[in-house]
Each structure stands twice: as structure tokens, then as C-alpha cells.
Structure 1
């Protein structure tokens, strides 16, 4: 075993007993490169983080320039810092009028935590509604609204008063009541295996929240920033949440998250108590500079407008294969259902051996995840589809 691999196992806390151990020492565009020069198509984008691929010149330059000017100055919200102000102003111009106040944090889990606090504080209620097979992060509050008991049981007690409903069940919406502070939902479930809402489901959910006074939180940590073929997934369904969560691709490859609401709702964090939510590194200037550059690139290069077509190239090629039971997709966020975990593992291993990287889903281990950088070209989509088809032909 080489020294780096040995040190990795000895000193980095592990999340499983069998880490992937894929060593990467360079990344460029849609490719990752091993120390021996082996090239891999990155078809998971760090789990929908690297929407612009790797080494985007605009983002790299923005990071370098901002680091040269200043990095950390003070805890979030105390000093006027140009990268934070410019990012939030530009972001809110893309959002509906009620989503006009942005709280910047470091990650998706922190965005979830902040949103849950905000909803309880604003409504004065305690009940939180979430959904089966939902994934919102691994911190205590986020874990409390995860929709999988197996992942939670060894960490209890967690937040009390959490109700788990079935995703896409209109009948379950009656369980949202005047006791409910908020409903947190992924408009498209990610770790559940790319599960899209049924027609009118999100509209009926929004209606029920409006009737009961519960705040609707859309977790767009995976779906945001163009991944589904619109800048935000809520635009696909024409349902506007009370609180919107962003992270992952939001930072352009740098750590950044946000929970976004109206000024009226967000104002409750300013008093009783003062400093109702605090973060030291949230909205780090370098991360904000990267986010601005990433957002500008998405808009000016019309990246999002091309996503749906690119996704269709891959999906249509794979859907024809006899081993593929179903392709579930929104834009370049895709699950290819293969029926068994053994088949999924075999295809992932084949990919590593033949130069492409796939993944499986936390709550759907019978499907492979395909979520390449949004900058992947149409020709690369065809190449990728052919590589995966060859893999499906080769595995047992």
C-alpha cells in the first residue's frame, strides 16, 4: 500500500468499512485524473456540487482575486462585505418577491438547521413534517427530518414532534395541521432515487400549508442551480415555497449554503433573542466570490437551457437496454433502475475499471446515480451513454 493510501486510512475518520479509495490528483472539466494519469468521466459531480465541472477559469480567477483582497473578516452579518452583498442581490433578482432575504451558511445541513429554527420561531409552533426517504443532512436537526429510521435509530433522542409522511400521498396531507410549524420537502427526492412529485401534488401541499399556516420549506440543495433543467426546481412545478434551501452547486465548488425567505419571516432572528442564528464562516467571502462567478457563467453561457436536452440523450440511450427497468429523471439528475444492488455494484465497478464514475442512492440501492457536470457536451453525453451500455452488456 502506498504511503498516501496508508495515511488516508490511519488518520481520516472513515464513514464506512470499505471506502472507495479512488485517488485523484487532478480534475478538469468533466474529467478526474488519477496519479497514474488514468482519466475518468465524472458522472456524479461530487453529488451535484460541480455543476460547472472542474477548474472553471471564471470561478478559479474569482477565488484567487478574492483571496488576495481578503478572506475571513468577522462573523456573518456584522461587516458589509462586497461578495456577500453582490451575491445575495443577484440571487434575489432571480427569485420570487417573497424570497428576498438570504441567510448565508456553510453547507446544506446548516441551511436545514437554520430553516427549521426560523420556522419554529416565526410560527411559535413545534411540529415539523417531513417525508419518507427524504435526505436533508446528518446534523441532529437535519437527521431528525431524515425519512429513514435505520439511519436515525442509533442517534436518538433527536428532535421531538417530527411527523413523517409518505411522499406523493395526497391523503397524508390532512396530517398537516395548525400545530405544524413547517413542512420540509425535496421537490424532487434525491437520495430516494430521483422521485418526482405527481401532477398537482406540490400545489396541493402548498395549499394545505397555506390553510394551516405552516411554512413550506423546499430543500433544493441538490436540485438547485440548474441541475433539473431550470435554475430552481420549484420553477418546474410553479409552486413557490416560504423558505428555500440552497447549497452544493451554489458555491461553485466552494462550501456555501443558504436559507432564503421573506424579510418579514427572517426578521424574527434579530430579536428575542438578539443573534437568533449565528455562523462564523457562513458566507465566506471566497465562497461568495466563487458563487457569483458560477451564477454568472450559468446565466451568460445559457448552461441551464441545455440541461434537459443533454439529459434526454443519456436517458433515451439507456432506457432501451434490457437490464434497465426504468429511468427516472429531471434534467441531468437521473436514476437508472437496475433492480438489484448486486447489479448496481457490478456496473459501478465496471465504470471504475473503464473510466467513468457512477454512484448509488442512500435510500435506493437498486439504481445508479447519473449527475454529470452541466457543462458536459452533447457528444460527451453520447460517449457516456455508450460506455454505460457497454458496461450493462458486460456485467452479469
Structure 2
């Protein structure tokens, strides 16, 4: 049986994975092997920006597959899909973010970004935020501000310090010894926490004062999810290095970090090959990235996210919902306790609605549907959530 083989031959990372057997997926729905449709309010954890199997992306992938797939390690051959994507991306970003290094995942993009910051500044100290999440490889894990998740893997990379997100007083810890401050534009695993009171602009100013770099991690909010192409556009703050991933290629594995050409050129010498990747810039994935970016920016999807957010906030009113955090289609329901969260996520799964947890906030439920989700589909899913919460009865305490 497929399910038995899954548990035997494929590594699991939790004791109790959801274990749905997937048959196919289309638009806002995933279908199991029993033919049941599951409305997707998670989008592969913000990866499937255009829903499942978007036609424009499928066509671009098929067209590229018939030409060539992998031909050479990153950076040696001129391959049209990667060039076209990075050129279009540069046209959508501030002038200092002109050159892109394509990699295979968000966590690899973080690794490349912190290497670049240390190489360019000649400094070693990195500053990240408490309750931050930037990935799970060793460098990214070193930036995780959550000791419970990383203590088993120590020792990690040295010279990493932590500040509290939104705490202006902590900015004095950024000094002339700091290579870079690495922040999520919107804290994801911590519960979709927005920067407040001009916080990111104040971080930017402090970095400028001490010649430290600012790295913004937009792996989750990037590519239109917050009502802007990138979330930093909401907060009067332009990073020195921008880190991307997840929603960039409609569900294919990808990541990128973007900086000035002057900065990126330091990877060429002392030593040369300052960052190496075999499959970064893969032409098939670059074709998917190009088609995804074209579709997002040409079809008014970014503007629609804020209207869809309003509908979620209008419909998701219930005594058990204490708060809705986030922006656009990057939302988190804050409930009273972990028991209600588990009840809602698991009960929804049985009723054909996909919700999910957040890493560090046990009272939160993730809502990050495809940008293409319809108003009708939002209403259907929200009705399910309210119905499930209406049926909730607390577990009796002995």
C-alpha cells in the first residue's frame, strides 16, 4: 500500500504527519485518492502563488523541457529563461537590487546572503531576531531565534546575536562590528507579526550609521502575497540584500538572493566561486519563475489580495478568534490555546479544508491560500471554519 510505503521508505519529520494520499491538484483544490476535493487555504505553505498547475506555468515548463534541462553548473552558460527572469525581476525592484543569484531553496538563499554580507563587509557578526525563522540548514539555523528548535544541533556558526523584533531600544546592539542584520519583513513562524511604528526604517537608519548591511527575508511574503510585490514596499525600507523563495516558481524548488552588482561581484575573487550551486538557475525552474512573475504582475492579482484580506476579516468573526494577524493573504488566526488550534486544523482536514500550523506560535492557524483563490472559495472555507469553531467543546479537565 502506498501509505505503508510512505511511512517505511520516506523520512517523516513529525510523529503524526497528516498523510493525505494526493491524486492530483488543480486551482484552489487538492484531490485525494478517494476523489475528495480539499480546498487549499495553505498553498503549499505559501509556495503555490498561482494555485495548483497554473496553465501559463505548465506551458512554460513544457516548452522549456523540450529544449533542454540541466546543461551546466550555475553561472557558466547563458540560458535564456534565467536571464529573462532576473532581468524582469530587476525591473520590479529598486536600483540597488539589480543582480540576482538563483539557488534551489529559501534556506540556501539565506546561506548565500550571509556569506555575501561577511565577504563584502569583512565583518563577522550577524544579528537576527528572537523567534525568527530563516530555514533549517546550519547557517540559517544559526539565525533562528528559538533555542528549543536548534539546541540539538549545536555548535552552530559563531558570532550571531539576537534582538527583539519591533524593539527599538535593541537597535543599539547593531555596531561597527556587525556585518548584517537579518530580519523577516513580516515574522512568519512567530505568528505573522508586522513591523510597527516605522521599525524597519529605524533598522535601516541604524545599519546606515554603522555601515552594516540589512538583509530582508521575503521568502514567505514575497511575490504579491501582502498586496505589494514585496512586503518591504509597505514599510519605507529598502534592504541591501533581498532573500526570496517559496512563491517564486509556483511550487517548484527555488530560491534567490538579490543585491547590487558591486556587492555580488565580490563572489568572483578572493576566493573565486564564492558561492557554488549545481542546479541553481535551472532553466526549467527559471521558466516557471518567469511565467509566475509575469502572471502575478500582469493579472491584477497583487491588488486583489487586499480585497480578499478584507473578506477574510469580515467573515472570520467568532468568539474563539481573538485576533487575525498579517497582511493580504498572509494571515494567522490567533485562538485561545493550542487545543483549539489542533481541533480546527484536524477537523477541517476531515471536512475538506486545508489549514496548517505555524512553527513557533501554538495558538495560531495559518491561512495563506493561492493568490488566485476566488471570493466564493474564500466564503466557502470561512463558513467551514466558523462551523467547526461553533462545534468545539473544550476537553474536560480531571
TM-score range relative to shorter protein: over 0.9
**What is the number of residues matched between the two proteins?**
393
1:5-45: per-residue Cα shift (whole Å, max 9, x none)?
Answer: 11000110110111111111110000000101111111111
Counterpart of 2:242 (choices 241, 244, 257) is: 244
In structure 2, what is the equivalent of residue 18 of structure 1? Answer: 16
Contact 1:314 1:384 (C-alpha < 8 Å) held by counterparts? no
Structure 2: state its 5+ residue gaps. Answer: 394-398
Contact 2:44 2:251 (C-alpha < 8 Å) held by counterparts? no
- SS of 1:196's partner is coil
For residues 358-377 of structure 1, the aligned pairs below 5 Å read 358-377=355-374
CA distance in 2, matches of 1:58, 1:192: 34
Give the TM-score normalised by structure 1: 0.98
CA distance in 1, matches of 2:160, 2:100: 26
- SS of 2:326's partner is strand
Give the TM-score normalised by structure 2: 0.98
- SS of 1:69's partner is coil
In structure 1, what is the equivalent of residue 330 of structure 2? Answer: 333
> Does 2:19 correspond to 1:36?
no
Counterpart of 1:282 (choices 280, 283, 303) is: 280
CA distance in 2, matches of 1:143, 1:198: 25
C-alpha RMSD of matched pairs (Å): 0.7
Contact 1:253 1:290 (C-alpha < 8 Å) held by counterparts? no
Counterpart of 1:202 (choices 193, 200, 203) is: 200
CA distance in 2, matches of 1:389, 1:240: 39
Counterpart of 2:381 (choices 376, 379, 384) is: 384
For residues 334-349 of structure 1, the aligned pairs below 5 Å read 334-349=331-346
> Does 2:92 correspond to 1:94?
yes
In structure 1, what is the equivalent of residue 396 of structure 2? Answer: none
Shift of 1:55: 1.1
1:241-260: per-residue Cα shift (whole Å, max 9, x none)?
Answer: 00000100111221111000
In structure 1, what is the equivalent of residue 135 of structure 2? Answer: 137
Contact 1:222 1:248 (C-alpha < 8 Å) held by counterparts? yes
For residues 35-114 of structure 1, the aligned pairs below 5 Å read 35-114=33-112
CA distance in 2, matches of 1:113, 1:93: 25
Contact 1:66 1:286 (C-alpha < 8 Å) held by counterparts? yes
- SS of 1:25's partner is strand
- SS of 1:40's partner is strand
Shift of 1:77: 0.3
Shift of 1:299: 1.4
